Structure 1
Amino acid sequence: MSGFAITSPFLRRFAFSALTLALVSGCSATAQTPAQTNTMSNNVTVQAPLAQPPKAEQPLTLNQIMANPDWLGIFAQGAYWSDDSQSIYFKRQAHQAPVADYYQQGVNQKAASKLNVDQLHLADQKNAVVNLAGTKKAYLYQGNLFVKDLVDGEIKQITKQNTAISGVRFLSNGDLAYWQGNNIFRLHQSSGLIEQIANIQMANEPKPIEDPSSYIAKQQHRLIEYVALQHNNAKAQQQYQQQLAEVDPSFAAKTWYLGDAEVVSDISLSADGRYALLALTDKNYTWRAEHDIMPNYLGQDGYVDAVPARARVAEDKFPGQRLVLLDLTEHVKKDITIEGLTGFDEDVLADVKQENAAAKGEKYESKKSPRLIQLMQDWEWNQSAVQWHPTENKLLVMIEAVDNKDRWIASVNLDKGSLTTEHRLHDDAWVNYNFNQYGWLPNSDSFYFLSEETGYSHLYVKTVGQKARALTQGKFVVDDVTLSPDAKHIVYRANADHPGSYNVYRVEIASGKIEQLTNWFGTLSYVLSPDGQSLLLDASSLIKPNELYIQPIGGTLSQLTDYTSNAFKEYAWQAPKVVAVPSNHGAGEVYARVYLPEGFEAQGADKYPAVIFNHGAGYLQNAHYGFSGYFREFMFHNMLAQQGYVVMDMDFRGSKGYGRDWRTAVYRNMGTPEVEDLKDGVSWMANNANVDIAKVGTYGGSYGGFLTFMALFNEPELFQAGAALRPVTDWAHYNAPYTSNILNTPDIDPIAYERSSPIEHADGLQKPLLIMTGVLDDNVFFQDSVRLVQRLIELEKPMFETAIYPVEPHGFKQPSSWLDEYRRIYKLFEQELKK
């Protein structure tokens, strides 16, 4: 157990990729307007937002699809188990409501009870640590520390202060440790004494008061008695305080002075409280842009607000981290050396550098040099990269190279401050930011971990110093790992039966025996109950949004919540067909969702127009059997199908859920393999859905907008029109963690950036293009679209239009903005694909 780690502003750099291009269309509540019919140019009629949901027998309209989404239902979010495994906690938040409401529902109850705000601190908390005996639980609420007795349920508030506590853990003897800023405290359970066991100062150690050395100083002390007295008293006081701190047991631990050049970005404490591992980062590094701001033209005071913006990958020079081990008992500091990491000094980008040098007529000479490293940040599961053994002074750390090519699991020699590689995962493209869960197996020298080394994420166990043993294998993806309370099983999620359908399994660690625990056809996430007997599922299927279910292990599935509105459930939604599109470009099969027109005829003289939707994030899965996170697009595609379109939604190469090779197919070449897959999608629709290939359009947001550009610019005959929403136009302007994974950095690999950035290919535009973006987009900057528009103007391209949304961030919030955006998309397709 490692406790909670401090996250500094420097680690916010990595949080961007949790948001990165992940345009999932969930938004929150605004007032709705009465139904109106507005006639736009070219005789395309659309409607403004309606308060009423669609009638089951009526065709869909844009105003219904893009209105306040609360009519679909206000769904449970962030669900987790109570401490006694008998009830569930979750929150619900209406569209654009400022705060969420919290609920508790018993596993056998039909309805949930809303929790009062003044009682939230007493509710069972999700993020907590439990002592080794399993009798007490510690958690933080609003920055204060609470301890709950799991036997009698009594809750004690330990602190009541305005300075937030950053992390907490139980020590092996039952004491409680917590850290606040750079200070670590120990609460002794026997006496209640709060002891400060570490005071870490990021400053230079004060110098001892020395006797005068220069002639003038000596003269001053010799001639001016007051000066000499003040000096001697100060020196004596300093010496006394030092001696007192050495012998007086009532004094707190000595202060650590670690210099003024760095800041603490992570702290983790050993099980007995003796050791603290720190990750330090150069204090001058910032993830904020040095030169730019994001202007908000509609500031509340009537002026332009200058909103700080993140740095671009072309400028973000992350310096890596340095690991330091503090022995809090002996007051000894050890700088952790990285030589024990296999390949720590390899020139892993030598081939890339050579190719770029040759393009400039230069030669590159490869040399070994220590690489920058940092603690691995698991963006999906938010697990600490520092894992202390639960009972012994043994430490594992998960480290990644800043160049994105290596991930190491290493054991730390606490006496020497050195690392020994236990597992190295190298990838010539990049190591995924998912599939990095790992941890100790209690009462052993073994640990479990996930690795993509076979091409798919799988689960392994390894004894320190010995060879790893695979617990799962096959052409499917394993994630979301949980160790059972008795430590005999590891529970996990996998898409073993079909890439688009997920279930929960467990494997017996000793024997390797695997048991399927759920039988769901769709997508789901799970939480194992504290007693290890049941699963809480957040599950969906093609036309059924996420609801909560209880699955007793070995028992019968039961539905816990039912927050989907009757209006949504009663509407005759078309469930998309999930198909495997054969690839003519070496990709095997490309999975896609297909919506067919009402009264579809597979053959006929009248062929159908078609639209391909390009999902966001790049690394995201949408052609699955669960309810789409793009719920507006799901409804829009139903509407298009009602109006005679075939609609396809592809998991092009780079998408999630299909293994390492599929993910890394876009390495140094974004926008090329994906467009090849789109070409195969158009061919499939022509051969299997009676589509006229001269009447196919495409659209998408974020990464989907980027892909729309690349298709229209580089394959101008493929689509007759395209709409790019909040699109990336130049990868050098996107954020560092996401982009450097795939394209390296612009200074090292300009070839990859020029090959992959739409602005470099804009001269190829021949078909109508619609560009739409939010001015307050702090993910893909508004400037991206501005630069491309100017480029198209200078290229004298007449076939594009733009629309801006002054108050919108990356994921739009206002129903009126959604409506306006999709009116324009719909108008484009009606005009260009139904000629």
Structure 2
Amino acid sequence: MSPVIRPFAVSALALAILAGCSANTPVAQTQPSAAPVTTQVTLAAPVVAGEKLTMKQIMANPDWMGVFATNPYWSDDGKSVYFQRQPSGDALKTLYVQPLNGEASEVALDKLSDASAEGVLDQSGQRKAFIYQGNLFVKYLASGETRQMTRTNTAVDGVRFLSNGDLAFWQGNSVFRLHADGMVEQLADIRMTKAPQGVQAPSSYLAKQNARLIQFVAAQHDKAKARESFKTELGKADSTISAEPWYLGDAEVVNELSLSADGRYLLLSLQDKNYQGRSEHDIMPNYLGKDGYVDPVPVRARVAEDNPPGERLVLIDLKDRQQHDISIEGLSGFDEDVLAKVKAENAKARGETYKSEKSPRKVQLMQDWGWSQSAIQWSEDGKLLVMLEAVDNKDRWIAAVDPESGKMTTEHRLHDEAWVNYDYNQFGWLKDGRFYFLSEETGFSQLYIKTPGKAAKALTQGKFVVSDLTVSSDGKYIYYKANKDHPGMYNVYRVSLADGKDEQLTQWQGVLDYRLSPDESKLLLLASTRTQPDEVYVQHIGGKLERLTHYTSSAFASYPWQTPEVVAVPSNHGAGVVYARVYLPEGFDASKADKYPAVIFNHGAGYLQNAHFGFSNYFREFMFHNLLAQQGYVVMDMDFRGSKGYGRDWRTAIYRQMGHPEVEDLKDGVAWMVKNAKVDDKRVGTYGGSYGGFLTFMALFREPELFQAGAALRPVTDWAHYNAPYTSNILNTPDVDPIAFERSSPIEHAQGLNKPLLIMSGVLDDNVFFQDSVRLVQRLIELEKPMFETAIYPVEPHGFREPSSWLDEYRRIYKLFEAELK
């Protein structure tokens, strides 16, 4: 158990809230339950309008709020909508179908194969090929008939229609062609082994002697050579025989493969087979293993030990049996020392001098962080584009590859002195031979089109963020989502490729995601507002908006939740304004002399937007903030620098200094509340999870007088222990840039703690390891800091799952704030 500064002093009202009873329930009637905790948690009683919120209610199984529709998509005929629902205690999601003018019904198990969300269309738009449960299906859209094309235990990994109407698919490293007459042809058999040596001439003295002296041995060798020669000649002459395998060596594995529209060319992305992204030295112990023992769970590599090898591209001509190893020399800046300044600064700190030299950089296909497309794009007439990123995170290229020669040339280079965003990277071909792409080169993600070899043209311009591109089937429009009216408000637009005319298609006062209907006359929306969770809507383009689902419970919908005001906090640190949500105390009166306590919530992920006009993903925190407001607190929820939705400069302000600009923003938030919300600056606390926990540490350690208390949930304490894909973007790597890691890691600043701190971590957290908290606790003990407490959650991963854990966690947070801020 960690040291405690002093017992928390809690009011009777606070005890009632902590116990889960209403504000007017006698405390003496509340008794701890002796029943064992199970994963089947009974739903708490619904909230009643006019009653005070209780902690047990808002941290209960969230199904009381409603079991909402997720991942909605159109049926192939556009007459119905599919979506999933999953009660919190269920292991599986259930698929539903709802006609546009009817009620939803569960899709039967034997009908699931006909309800595929994804798929590819042939050039005529009459057939859709898709994969279900590892097998290949083709649906004839006019009739609705679906045919199963494979039924094997080897999963189909990908599919595409070829330009002549045949269907190609791949299983593992084997690529097949399904001809119109039903014949299955193996186009490519990729083997990641060394090529067989074939029949070799005797090489050693003894072998040569045997062949010279023993006629039988010599005859056997000659027969083997003859059979080998015959097989080779037969393969060339007989078109009924499948082509020979391709042997690419035993040092790599295939990460991705992509086939050209005519089925002639195959592009492969290869990576060192020994790279797993796993720690070679460590495990995560599960102390509650099912057999009663400690289970050693493998964990990801830390950025301090990870060394991504990059990838190499190989282009195979299946017709002429030629292989091209694609050189990265066609990429602009492929050998630049982009970290020269960083390396020089770190060398100087060591008393050394750094000499910059050019050297080829490691590159890889742009990693998929949620965008549903491949980084390899073939046009219907055989042109090839690839999107590559440097492993050092400073460049993203769109490059053209000549299929005949394998030569690569740069079509677009996006360079960033900080890091290239892993978001906003959609690109692809248009029907007229041009291609489209997103780029942050102006400071905001905008849409461009480009003819290969010529200059790009911007289709959108402004200080807003463009995302989620959809090209119309006739190639005349590109649909997109953007936050033009306010950084926290999103709508759907389309731009004409002929004249650049831009149209706003929705008028939503919140946030949304969309899908275009098959006939392109409607938009399917999953949309929310600040107090209304996601529901499914249909927006008729140029017409009315219709709500399709009503899954928000009456208990939740009828409760008078406070709508948080989205405010622009002026920055005293060069940031312009910082957007934040503000919850005001019940009965707030600006004319009163009394000053209020306050809490600032720090969202997770760092790169995430929460001060928007939609329903927060932090729904428990939304309710907790309502509870705090009922108990007399002002609550602020900031989109500090580094957050999503505000452009490149806002995102990269934290480069090499995580936790520094953000704390400045928190200071401005406190100043705003003091000026505008009657807040006592000596009674302000802060809390957050993951990145929010990290930021809580940095605020308490580096600005010890800013907050009077803080709670850090599942927090990062040392960035050298976090993963490479996220951390190396912002801080480079510890071997290259130790200055950035020491500047940005809370454990390096722990000596600054002088206010009460609560640290809470899940033991099974495979994202931010439990070890993070263990190391910081030991550091605080050695620094003789008595003002912290810890709480551990033995069964919880990074995102807590059990209502009992959520309840315990937030009871402790509330208890801390009541003791230190009231």
Q: For this structure pair, what is the TM-score category when the shorter chain's length is used for normalisation?
A: over 0.9
Aligned-partner Cα distance in 2 for 1:61–1:46: 15
* Aligned position for 1:117: 109
Paired amino acid for 1:584: N
Indicate yes or no: 2:52 matched with 1:59: yes
Alignment equivalent of 2:152, drawn from 161, 168, 184: 161
Aligned-partner Cα distance in 2 for 1:727–1:382: 30
* Aligned position for 1:129: 120
* Aligned position for 2:260: 270
Greater relative contact order (CA < 8 Å, ≥ 6 in sequence): 1
Structure 1: where are the runs of 5+ without partners?
Answer: 1-33
Note the C-alpha offset of 1:605: 2.4
Note the C-alpha offset of 1:570: 0.6
Aligned-partner Cα distance in 2 for 1:213–1:431: 54
Aligned-partner Cα distance in 1 for 2:31–2:763: 25
* Aligned position for 2:397: 408
Larger CA deviation: 100-109 vs 695-704? 100-109
Note the C-alpha offset of 1:126: 1.2
Alignment equivalent of 1:580, drawn from 568, 571, 575: 568
Note the C-alpha offset of 1:236: 2.6
Aligned-partner Cα distance in 2 for 1:603–1:691: 13
Instruction: For 1:330-409, list aligned pairs within 5 A.
Output: 330-390=320-380, 392-409=381-398
Instruction: For 1:542-581, list aligned pairs within 5 A.
Output: 542-581=530-569
Aligned-partner Cα distance in 2 for 1:168–1:475: 39
* Aligned position for 2:634: 646
| TM-aligned CA distance change 1:659 to 1:46, over 3 Å | farther
* Aligned position for 1:30: none
| Contact 2:21 2:30 survives alignment (8 Å) | no
* Aligned position for 1:294: 284
Indicate yes or no: 2:518 matched with 1:530: yes
Q: State the percentage of identical aligned residues.
A: 69
* Aligned position for 1:4: none
Deviations 1:307-356 (A, max 9, x none): 11000011110010000000010110001111111111111111000100
Instruction: For 1:198-213, list aligned pairs within 5 A.
Output: 198-213=188-203
* Aligned position for 2:607: 619
Instruction: For 1:34-53, list aligned pairs within 5 A.
Output: 51-53=44-46
* Aligned position for 2:12: none
* Aligned position for 1:12: none
Aligned-partner Cα distance in 2 for 1:744–1:647: 34
Instruction: For 1:246-257, list aligned pairs within 5 A.
Output: 246-257=236-247
Aligned-partner Cα distance in 1 for 2:31–2:232: 79
Deviations 1:3-33 (A, max 9, x none): xxxxxxxxxxxxxxxxxxxxxxxxxxxxxxx
Aligned-partner Cα distance in 2 for 1:667–1:156: 52
Aligned-partner Cα distance in 1 for 2:686–2:29: 19
| Contact 2:20 2:57 survives alignment (8 Å) | no
* Aligned position for 1:279: 269
Instruction: For 1:6-85, list aligned pairs within 5 A.
Output: 51-85=44-78
Aligned-partner Cα distance in 2 for 1:583–1:818: 34
Paired amino acid for 2:811: R
Paired amino acid for 1:755: R
Larger CA deviation: 410-419 vs 632-641? 410-419
Paired amino acid for 1:187: L
| Contact 1:449 1:461 survives alignment (8 Å) | yes
Aligned-partner Cα distance in 2 for 1:215–1:279: 43
| Contact 1:279 1:323 survives alignment (8 Å) | yes
Alignment equivalent of 2:210, drawn from 220, 236, 251: 220
Quote the RMSD (CA, aligned, Å).
1.7
Note the C-alpha offset of 1:206: 0.7
Secondary structure at the counterpart of residue 534 of structure 2:
strand
| Contact 1:609 1:692 survives alignment (8 Å) | yes
Structure 2: where are the runs of 5+ without partners?
Answer: 1-18, 34-41
Alignment equivalent of 2:745, drawn from 750, 757, 764: 757
Deviations 1:365-395 (A, max 9, x none): 11111111001123121321111002x1100
Indicate yes or no: 2:300 matched with 1:310: yes
| Contact 2:22 2:52 survives alignment (8 Å) | no
Aligned-partner Cα distance in 1 for 2:486–2:82: 31
Aligned-partner Cα distance in 2 for 1:633–1:614: 11
Note the C-alpha offset of 1:766: 0.3
Alignment equivalent of 2:250, drawn from 257, 260, 268: 260
Indicate yes or no: 2:754 matched with 1:766: yes
Aligned-partner Cα distance in 2 for 1:181–1:343: 34
Secondary structure at the counterpart of residue 264 of structure 1:
strand
Indicate yes or no: 2:147 matched with 1:147: no
Secondary structure at the counterpart of residue 435 of structure 1:
coil
Deviations 1:217-261 (A, max 9, x none): 132234445544443333332222222211121111121011111
| TM-aligned CA distance change 1:46 to 1:365, over 3 Å | farther
Tell me the TM-score normalised to structure 2 length. Answer: 0.95
Note the C-alpha offset of 1:216: 1.6
* Aligned position for 2:423: 434
Deviations 1:33-54 (A, max 9, x none): x97799xxx9998988862111
| Contact 1:50 1:63 survives alignment (8 Å) | no
Deviations 1:604-639 (A, max 9, x none): 321100000000000000000000000000000000
| TM-aligned CA distance change 1:247 to 1:401, over 3 Å | same
Aligned-partner Cα distance in 2 for 1:708–1:234: 74
Deviations 1:67-119 (A, max 9, x none): 0000000011111011111111111001031111111111122x201111122
| TM-aligned CA distance change 1:642 to 1:84, over 3 Å | same
Aligned-partner Cα distance in 2 for 1:296–1:276: 44
Deviations 1:135-168 (A, max 9, x none): 1000000000000011111110000011101100
Secondary structure at the counterpart of residue 793 of structure 1:
helix
| Contact 1:80 1:527 survives alignment (8 Å) | yes
| TM-aligned CA distance change 1:685 to 1:36, over 3 Å | closer
| Contact 2:429 2:435 survives alignment (8 Å) | yes
Deviations 1:704-741 (A, max 9, x none): 00000000000000000000000000000000000000
* Aligned position for 2:6: none
Paired amino acid for 2:147: K
| TM-aligned CA distance change 1:368 to 1:44, over 3 Å | farther
Secondary structure at the counterpart of residue 250 of structure 1:
coil
Aligned-partner Cα distance in 2 for 1:386–1:222: 55
| Contact 1:721 1:828 survives alignment (8 Å) | yes
Deviations 1:434-453 (A, max 9, x none): 110011001x2201110000
Paired amino acid for 1:121: S
Alignment equivalent of 2:312, drawn from 307, 315, 322: 322
Paired amino acid for 1:115: V
| Contact 1:754 1:760 survives alignment (8 Å) | yes
Secondary structure at the counterpart of residue 67 of structure 1:
coil
Instruction: For 1:599-618, list aligned pairs within 5 A.
Output: 599-618=587-606
| Contact 1:607 1:690 survives alignment (8 Å) | yes
Indicate yes or no: 2:175 matched with 1:184: yes
Aligned-partner Cα distance in 2 for 1:56–1:564: 16
Secondary structure at the counterpart of residue 544 of structure 1:
coil
* Aligned position for 2:690: 702
Paired amino acid for 1:794: E
| Contact 2:444 2:463 survives alignment (8 Å) | yes
* Aligned position for 1:28: none
Secondary structure at the counterpart of residue 820 of structure 2:
helix
Paired amino acid for 1:759: I
* Aligned position for 1:19: none
Paired amino acid for 1:570: S
Secondary structure at the counterpart of residue 825 of structure 1:
helix
Aligned-partner Cα distance in 1 for 2:771–2:390: 31
Note the C-alpha offset of 1:641: 0.1
Paired amino acid for 1:127: E
| Contact 2:43 2:63 survives alignment (8 Å) | no
Secondary structure at the counterpart of residue 280 of structure 2:
strand
Larger CA deviation: 444-453 vs 49-58? 49-58
Aligned-partner Cα distance in 2 for 1:693–1:801: 24
Indicate yes or no: 2:158 matched with 1:170: no
Larger CA deviation: 413-422 vs 665-674? 413-422
